[in-house]
Amino acid sequence: MRKFFVLLLLATSCTPIYVPTTRNVPLFRERGEFQGSLYVTTGFEAQLAYALTDHVAVMANTNFFKYHVDNQDYDRKNSFAEGGLGYYNVTRKYRTELFLGYGLGQGTSYGSYYFFTQYFGQKALVATGKMNRIFIQPSFGTNNRKFNLAFTTRLSFVDYTEFSSNDNNPNNAVVTVKPDEKAHFFFEPSITGKVPIAGNLQGVFQLGLNAPIPSEVYFDKVPVQFSVGLQLNTGSLRTRVY
């Protein structure tokens, strides 16, 4: 598992500081359904979702990773948590949903930031950034007893409120800077697949892209994410009857 985790990190990017969550795509069928998911992706993720009524649902997501980077001698890490409120609708063949949400977190990585030049010179360094994000997430998926596929077009507004660094040198004082930058808009589409394994347990996978619009941003981001995991889904054994 450790080798798989490291390969996923290397495949997505070198040391990006913006690491989005896997899209939580419940595809609910009716009131009272619950889903709990665990993913291995650019880190480890946990997701929860619950259908409050036949059309209203809530979700909560969190991701985390930490590992040591030997050539720069620092701990690269990331933590993020978010929640959302959504509307869903079901037909005999298809399911649609729309979630709105907000989250916050922080990440430590190695990169170049223009606002640290006056303190440490013009170079790449280890820095920790704190951020918050607002997202709009529409999805369209199938409604089958077995394999289901969903297409999601998440739109995120990412705002880094401050960065801190001491150039990875304990002899330096930590400098905290609030960048004079506006929130950046990200287009984050994905394809999600779900297949039953046994009982209420499903296997889930997702391939997602993370594209800033416009393309120029002052921080590094994960451009491509692949996630694979297990999902406990209390609605996976039945298809709604019309």
CA-CA distance, 37 to 50, in Å (whole number)?
A: 12
- CB-CB contact of 160 with 181 (8 Å): yes
Q: Which CATH number is 110's domain given?
A: 2.40.128
Residue 235 has pLDDT above 90, yes or no: no
N- to C-terminal Cα distance for the chain? 43
Share the mean pLDDT of the chain: 91
Q: Tell me the pLDDT band of 236, cut-offs 50, 70 and 90.
A: low
Output the pLDDT for position 141.
98
Tokens of 199: 């009982």
Residue 2 has pLDDT above 70, yes or no: no
In a domain, 36, yes or no: yes
Residue 215 has pLDDT above 90, yes or no: no
Domain that holds residue 33: 2-233
Q: Please, which residues have CB within 8 angstroms of residue 102's CB and are 6 or more apart in sequence?
A: 82, 83, 84, 132, 133, 134, 135
- CB-CB contact of 32 with 163 (8 Å): no
Residue 1 has pLDDT above 80, yes or no: no
Output the pLDDT for position 14.
56
Output the pLDDT for position 10.
42
In a domain, 39, yes or no: yes
The residue ranking higher by pLDDT, 117 or 11, is 117
In a domain, 238, yes or no: no
pTM above 0.75, yes or no: yes
In a domain, 242, yes or no: no
Q: Tell me the pLDDT band of 7, cut-offs 50, 70 and 90.
A: very low
In a domain, 240, yes or no: no
In a domain, 239, yes or no: no
Strands 175-177 and 201-209: unpaired
- What average pLDDT score do residues 44-59 get? 97
Residue 6 has pLDDT above 90, yes or no: no
Number of domains in the chain: 1
| Residue from 78, 76, 65, 74 nearest 168 by CA | 74
In a domain, 16, yes or no: yes
Give the tens place of pLDDT for each residue, 168-199. Answer: 999 999 999 999 999 999 999 999 999 999 99
Strands 74-90 and 124-142: unpaired
Give the tens place of pLDDT for each residue, 71-112. Answer: 889 999 999 999 999 999 999 999 999 999 999 999 999 999
CA-CA distance, 105 to 103, in Å (whole number)?
A: 7
Q: Which residues are registered as beta bridge partners of 104?
A: 81, 132
Residue 9 has pLDDT above 50, yes or no: no
